[in-house]
Amino acid sequence: MRLALLLALAVAGCAQTPPVADASPAPADTTDRPPRMGPVFAGPMRADPVFDAASLVEAMATRYPEWARTLSFTQRTSRREPDGAVSVETWREWAALPGRLRIEMGDPMVGTDILFVGDTMYVVQDGRLEAAVADRNPLLLWGFDVYTQDPVETLRIAAEDGVDLAAFRTDVWDGTPAYVLGAPETGEVWVERDRLLFVRLVETGPEGARRDVRFENYRPLGGGWIAPLVEVWQDGERVFWEEYSDIVADPVLDPVLFEPRRWAEGVAETVAETH
């Protein structure tokens, strides 16, 4: 049961199903905010150096040359259950950019854990490699990797993931001008115009449920930024959210952390780090 739930929602937005944009404002819940959509501009003026997918990705890749290449943090993970109750877990995560993310959920030798390496998601069960699934974490790509890798590689991955690179427009999100890459049929990537920070991914979840992933409350970290709050909204309800603490930019990480067949050795490494 835990594995099935994990693959569906544990890593927000990791499924690569065909996305559909939800242009309607989220209804209120206990964390209500006013509607956040704004008027749609006709399109960027050509005086704007960002006017298509290639120029957007190029601008993001060059804006923060000192963006952290490694990262560690503790994550408070909250999930709204079908009965309305909220379950909370504490996870530990390590990233090495581009493309690598280790997620330990509680005791890293008990239960299910996840490792992303490039275009593969590895599932670790009770400390042993259980499965390797062809899958990529789009939040890792757009929230982190895009700032640390060749723009050509980001565009290649985006095209491979089905993003419509020919679809590009300007819009407003949370009262701030934004660039929008993609189309409702293939998913939309929203990037704040002024700081060139990824703020939103709109996609389609299981059985066609609309899913809206938001990076919130950005703050400076190292030579770049981090959003310590990530929210997943589905059909207008906040169903999953992550709150980061103990955030460290550019820690020295042993590569063994990201080797799926040496998971237990990585556990030993992280235990040594925390003592």
Question: Cβ contacts of residue 48 below 8 Å, gap of 6+?
Answer: none
Q: Classify residue 50: in a domain, yes or no.
A: yes
Residue 66 CB coordination number (10 Å): 11
Check: CB of residue 245 under 8 Å from CB of residue 228: yes
How far apart CA 256 and CA 262 sit, in angstroms, is 7
Which range has highest mean pLDDT (10-14, 24-28, 43-47)? 43-47
In this predicted structure, what is the pLDDT of residue 77? Answer: 97
E strands, the chain, in order: 70-80, 86-96, 100-105, 112-117, 120-125, 128-134, 168-173, 176-183, 187-192, 198-204, 210-216, 219-221, 224-226, 229-234, 237-249
Q: Which domain holds residue 89?
A: 37-274
CATH number, domain at 239? 2.50.20.10
Return phi, psi of residue 75, to 5°: -125, 125
- Give me the percent of the chain exceeding a pLDDT of 90: 72
pLDDT digits (tens, 9 = 90+) for 245-270: 999 999 999 999 999 999 999 997 77
pLDDT at 23 over 60: no
In this predicted structure, the answer to whether residue 104 has a pLDDT above a threshold of 50 is yes
Residue 4 resides in a domain: no
CB atoms within 10 A of CB 140: 20
In a domain, 67, yes or no: yes
Across 74-81, average pLDDT: 96
Residue among 64, 79, 85 nearest 11 (CA): 79
Number of domains in the chain: 1
Confidence of residue 271 (pLDDT cuts 50, 70, 90): low
Please state the rounded mean pLDDT for residues 40-50.
63
Q: 150, 61 in Cβ contact below 8 A?
A: yes
Instruction: Give the HSE-up count for residue 39: Cα atoms under 13 Å, Cβ half-sphere.
Output: 2
Would the pLDDT of 12 be above 50?
Answer: no
How far is residue 161's CA from residue 165's CA, in Å, rounded to a whole number?
A: 11
- Tell me if 6 is assigned to some domain: no
The pLDDT of residue 3 is 38
End-to-end CA distance of the chain: 32
* pLDDT score of 161 more than 50: yes
Q: Say whether pLDDT at 80 is over 80.
A: yes
Return the ∠ at Cα 259 (arms to 147 and 197), rounded to 5°: 15
Residue 19 has pLDDT above 50, yes or no: no
pTM: 0.81
Q: pLDDT higher for 9 or 88?
A: 88
* Alpha carbons 121 and 261: distance in angstroms, whole number: 13
In a domain, 229, yes or no: yes
Cα–Cα separations (whole angstroms), residue 111 to 114, 130, 237: 10, 11, 28
Cα–Cα distance, 95 to 68 (Å, whole number): 10
Look at residue 68 and tell me if it is in a domain: yes
**Residue 10 reports pLDDT greater than 80:** no
- What are 191-247's pLDDT values in tens digits? 999 999 999 999 876 666 778 999 999 999 999 999 999 999 988 899 999 999 999
Q: How confident is the model at residue 64 (pLDDT cuts 50, 70, 90)?
A: very high
Q: How confident is the model at residue 98 (pLDDT cuts 50, 70, 90)?
A: very high
Say if 105 falls within a structural domain: yes
Mean pLDDT of 82-111: 96
Domain-located, residue 110 = yes
